[in-house]
Amino acid sequence: MPDLLLELFSEEIPARMQAKAADDLRRMVTDKLVAEGLVYEGAKAFATPRRLALTVHGIPARQPDLKTERRGPKIGAPDAAVQGFLKATGLKSLDEATIQKDAKGDFYVALIEKPGRPAIDVIAEMLPVIIRTFPWPKSMRWGARSAKSGSLVWVRPLHAITATFGLETEEPDVVKFSIDGVEAGQTTYGHRFMAPGAISVRRFEDYEAKLKAAKVILDPQARKDIILEDAKELAFAQGLELVEDQVLLDEVSGLVEWPVVMMGSFEQEFLSIPDEVIRATIRNNQKCFVVKDPKTGKLTNKFVLTANIEAPDDGKTIVAGNERVIRPRLSDAKFFYETDLKTKLEDRLPKFEQIVFHEKLGTQAERIKRIERLAAEIAPLVGADVEKTRRAARLAKADLLTEVVGEFPELQGLMGKYYALAQGEDASVAAASEEHWKPQGPTDRAPTDPVSIAVALADKLDTLAGFWAIDEKPTGSKDPYALRRAALGVIRIVLENQLRIQFNLVLVWAVATFFVKKRFGVDLDDLSKIPTVDEHESKLAGPIAVVASREVTEPFNIGEVMRDVLAFFADRLKVQLREQGARHDLVDAVFSLGGQDDLLLVVRRVEALGKFLDSDDGKNLLAGTKRASNILAIEEKKDKRSFDGAPDAALYKLDEEKALAAAIDQVKREASAAVAKEDFAAAMSAMAKLRPAVDAFFDKVKVNDDDPKVRENRLKLLNEIRAATRAVADFSRIEG
């Protein structure tokens, strides 16, 4: 079967867009082929800086013929109906229709055959549409044609299109189409500098080979392999080791069509700069790899560059040029680093008073003060030294104002640690500078040192409380302040360190700070100094009292904000558990018990509940509880009342009723005792004891007894089942 070769030849495509573009091209073309009934055998797409290419092999030469039947009017139907039928189906007369029978009688049926079209024609129609609708992240217009609206947009100017279709054994045909003045043909071009001439290609095999002869390696993976292997070998030959960097490798391979790897060096004196700064300088600015000494693990004064040409002087000029560029870059970095070291971190803090964190949330200085206060509250809960925690919180963000971090934002935190150590700070205080930002994403680790944990939690909780207080919550896909990441960070820190924290006791400080600031314009600790604050309001200083003052709604209701933030944690926890393949509905079942603010306990309870529900006892109990709930719901609706309150033992008529009542009593007691001891497995085992009694009850007892008193009592008993299970979870929130 024939193959398709497609190449879109343009000016330089941004490296970061190439892989996805190749993928999109393959997907769009093959999806469309299949939609047109052209089922292909295989497809592969490629990208270089100047071209997107696609090969699809094993495409049928023609679409299959399509046969459809169309039911027409009954025999003897009025002429108008017959004419309509003929017109719609394209039949010349009823002689061309067949007659079929069904229960209602005989009717005409038209057999419509739509002959398949040659695949090449179908492809010639679909390619321009695909090109015009190609999903580049950013695209542009160019040239004289851009004077008129509707001109082609592409990532950069598109210069040539190669499109051929045909069998391996024959000369393939050009897929004829043109788009905005670019005519599809079979001419492409080699390497921009080493082989710029036109190349005539027939099909994928000779295309790839001819490109290679013209100094273009089509396959990005092949370019990556060459760069990585050559770079490793260059380093190895010197007894050194390449610092591998996948992201950089991906980018560099998208900047060259013919990778030529070479090694350069810089002055030894620059090695006094921290390795990360050297690496960031060389990587970000020059897109070069750095090289380390395998014995010490420290960087050496070598770097590896990837050129796009084989130069007649073996690249001497290129290496010398790159060295000339890297030198002043490192010189700047060294200057920045040394300048930074001259100022103590705490001396930078006043500058934060000039920097607005958020219009409605004040300056960075205010924020740091809040974090310090909150971190000091958290410290004892996580076993951190309070004074160290305070110091760490005060200094943790100071490196944002350093020159190196200004130049390389990705080094924030890390530089803070270096500078803190350089000025003789305690190791855990210094570490917090780097650690308190963590975890930054799903692959990042969570902090483990208690001081770092306290600062990290304070930082994230202050952020969450603050944005909730000003009602800037994430909506849909919009989360400009990365609040979801902050909440997930808190969850991970708590779970991975097995921390027991009652979040309401911590959150209240975070939220109350914003409340007091907004309501009275002072810091939480200065509240008592305000003479105008009446007795009631001065109680606000005690955070627990704050929660009690529920009636205060200006500028916001503290209790409500706290509930909202906790609900946000619940949501994030659900997402987290879902991603781990755990049941997220159980999170709701636990949270809806109310008062659940200890995330670690929530998760343990969810785990125990999950195991219980996997057992037969659990499944049946859940079924029984749901049945009880359903009956109650119906009867409550019927009677327009609820059936709360203790059942009357005197009204029990049957043994099964009595047995259930006894079981509920016992289970309630045992489960509550187990929960109090935080032994959720035992609480679930206790629950299991409820099951036979519930089963027997439904087996033998008719709830809607003719005696209304008995009926009411039985409904109350059912309600007790629901109540009993609430010792461990709200079963009504469990799915299934």
Partner 1 sequence: MDALPDHMRPERSFQGFILALQRFWAEQGCVILQPYDMEMGAGTFHPATTLRALGPKPWNAAYVQPSRRPKDGRYGENPNRMQHYYQFQVIMKPSPPNLQELYLKSLAAIGIDSAVHDIRFVEDDWESPTLGAWGLGWECWCDGMEVSQFTYFQQVAGVECAPVAGELTYGLERLAMYVQGVDRVYDLNFNGREGAEKVTYGDVFLQAEQEYSRHNFEYADTAMLFEQFKMAEEACRKYLAAGWREGGNQKEHLMALPAYDQCIKASHVFNLLDARGVISVTERQSYIGRVRDLAKACGEAWIHTETGRAA
| Residues near partner 1 (CB under 8 A) | 11-12, 14-16, 49, 138-149, 155-157, 159, 193, 255-256, 286-288, 305, 307-309, 311-313, 317-318, 320-322, 324-328, 354-356, 359
Q: How far is the CB of 124 from partner 1 (least distance, A)?
A: 24
Q: Which C-beta is closer to partner 1: that of 230 or that of 434?
A: 230
Q: How far is the CB of 513 from partner 1 (least distance, A)?
A: 23
CB half-sphere exposure, 70, CA atoms < 13 A: 20
Q: How far is the CB of 147 from partner 1 (least distance, A)?
A: 4
Q: Which C-beta is closer to partner 1: that of 350 or that of 594?
A: 350
Q: How far is the CB of 364 from partner 1 (least distance, A)?
A: 11
Contact between 429 and 420 under an 8 Å Cβ cutoff? The reply is: yes
Q: Which C-beta is closer to partner 1: that of 356 or that of 495?
A: 356
Query: By CB neighbour count within 10 A (0-12 exposed, 13-18 middle, 19+ buried), where does 90 fall?
Result: exposed
What residues have CB less than 8 Å from 643, skipping those under 6 apart?
632, 635, 636, 712, 715, 716, 718, 719
Q: Which C-beta is closer to partner 1: that of 136 or that of 520?
A: 136
Q: How far is the CB of 228 from partner 1 (least distance, A)?
A: 19
What residues have CB less than 8 Å from 699, skipping those under 6 apart?
656
Residues comprising the chain, all counted = 736
Give CA–CA dist 352/531, Å, rounded. 30
Give CA–CA dist 275/159, Å, rounded. 43
Bin 215: left if φ > 0, else alpha if -120 < ψ < 50, else beta.
Answer: left
> Which residue in 651, 634, 665, 662 sits closest to 707, CA to CA?
651
Q: How far is the CB of 343 from partner 1 (least distance, A)?
A: 17
Give CA–CA dist 636/634, Å, rounded. 6
Token pair listed for 35 = 């939609």
Q: Which amino acid is present at 131?
A: I
Q: Which C-beta is closer to partner 1: that of 67 or that of 148?
A: 148
Three-state SS sequence of 477-530: CECCCCHHHHHHHHHHHHHHCCCCCCHHHHHHHHHHHHHHHHHHCCCHHHHHHC
Q: Which C-beta is closer to partner 1: that of 170 or that of 353?
A: 353
Q: How far is the CB of 421 from partner 1 (least distance, A)?
A: 29
Token pair listed for 651 = 């009204």
Q: Which C-beta is closer to partner 1: that of 12 or that of 730?
A: 12
- With tokens 């125990």, the residue in question is 608
Return the SS3 of 648. coil
Q: Which C-beta is closer to partner 1: that of 141 or that of 626?
A: 141
Q: Which C-beta is closer to partner 1: that of 357 or that of 520?
A: 357
Please name every residue paired with 188 in a beta bridge, in sequence order, or none if there are none.
199
Largest CA distance in the chain: 106
Q: Which C-beta is closer to partner 1: that of 255 or that of 590?
A: 255
Give CA–CA dist 286/60, Å, rounded. 48
Token pair listed for 395 = 């200094």
Q: Which C-beta is closer to partner 1: that of 27 or that of 159?
A: 159
Q: How far is the CB of 143 from partner 1 (least distance, A)?
A: 5
Q: Which C-beta is closer to partner 1: that of 200 or that of 317?
A: 317
Q: How far is the CB of 480 from partner 1 (least distance, A)?
A: 16
Return the SS3 of 594. coil
3-state DSSP helix/strand/coil percent for the chain, to nearest 5?
Answer: 55, 15, 30
Q: What angle do CA 687, 688, 691 make, to 5 degrees?
A: 105
Query: By CB neighbour count within 10 A (0-12 exposed, 13-18 middle, 19+ buried), where does 461 fall?
Result: buried
Displacement of CA 310 from its chain's centroid (Å): 42
Displacement of CA 582 from its chain's centroid (Å): 18
> Which residue in 644, 713, 721 sits closest to 687, CA to CA?
721
Give CA–CA dist 734/623, Å, rounded. 11
Q: Which C-beta is closer to partner 1: that of 320 or that of 427?
A: 320
Using CA atoms, how far residue 169 sits from 2, 53, 172, 230, in Å, is: 9, 22, 9, 38
Q: Which C-beta is closer to partner 1: that of 145 or that of 641?
A: 145
Q: How far is the CB of 356 from partner 1 (least distance, A)?
A: 6
Q: Which C-beta is closer to partner 1: that of 49 or that of 466?
A: 49
Give CA–CA dist 365/346, Å, rounded. 12
Give CA–CA dist 408/45, Å, rounded. 35
